[in-house]
Amino acid sequence: MIVLQNLQKTFVKDGNRIEVLKGIDLEIERGEMLAIIGVSGAGKSTLIHILGTLDHPTGGRVLYNGLNVFLWQEKNLASFRNRTIGFVFQFHNLLPEFTGVENVMMPALVNGISHRNARKRAEELLAEVGLANRMEHKPGELSGGEQQRVAVARALIMEPEIILADEPTGNLDTETGKKVEDIIIHLNKTRKITLVVVTHNKSLADRMTRIIGLQDGRIHRVV
């Protein structure tokens, strides 16, 4: 589904070139569950941002189903991103002034789906993640685990082919993190959604079908 060929990313800071990714070659199969591990600064978040087309590589290619997406105009890339990729981050990034159901609806409304259909879909997703009775609460009225479950539902509203999760349990206690783990793995099993997770959580990494380790901008081990 996804092929990275000699992927490179360099930043320039204070006149100095910083090589973050130094030639990554990686293939991700449709329906796979992949964990990316490594110490802070290894390039994990940069890699997942490029996978999600939130950032552009400096060199190399990113192919989705054989298409080099970074050759596209930005509006086409944004459309592809919104339709194909769902994001879950360590900090849920929910809009505090909106309720849970309104937060979940937002990507669908932005994509031109009617308010009625967006709300129906959002309610179904929130029920699926166990928040049927909490969907009218605003983020400040929800626990950390509940907020993250809203974020998972929001990631699913456009029925993406892939979920990219950057430390999805990193801000949660062990018990709550386990519940979020169960939800995203269940989604992979039932919906065949490809799942790529950046994590320091060994429990979560061990539940994936494959683990790769990044070190100094390169893949240094595969499990």
The H or E element containing residue 88 is strand 85-89
Q: What span, in angstroms and rounded, lies between the C-alpha atoms of 142 and 72?
A: 39
Domain boundaries, the chain: 2-222
CA pair distance 143, 185, nearest whole angstrom: 21
Give the CATH number of domain 2-222; options: 3.40.47.10, 3.40.50.2300, 3.40.1350.10, 3.40.50.300.
3.40.50.300
Q: What is the pLDDT along the chain (223 residues), one digit of tens a residue?
A: 899 999 999 988 888 888 899 999 999 999 999 999 988 878 888 999 999 999 999 999 999 999 999 999 998 998 888 889 988 887 778 899 999 999 999 989 988 899 999 999 999 999 988 889 999 999 999 988 888 889 889 988 988 999 999 888 777 778 778 888 888 888 888 888 999 999 888 888 898 999 999 888 889 877 6
**pTM, full prediction:** 0.86
Amino acid identity of residue 5, one-letter, is Q
Q: Which residues contact 71 (CB under 8 A, 6 or more apart)?
A: none
CA 95, distance to chain mean position in Å, is 18
Residue 126, H or E segment = helix 115-128
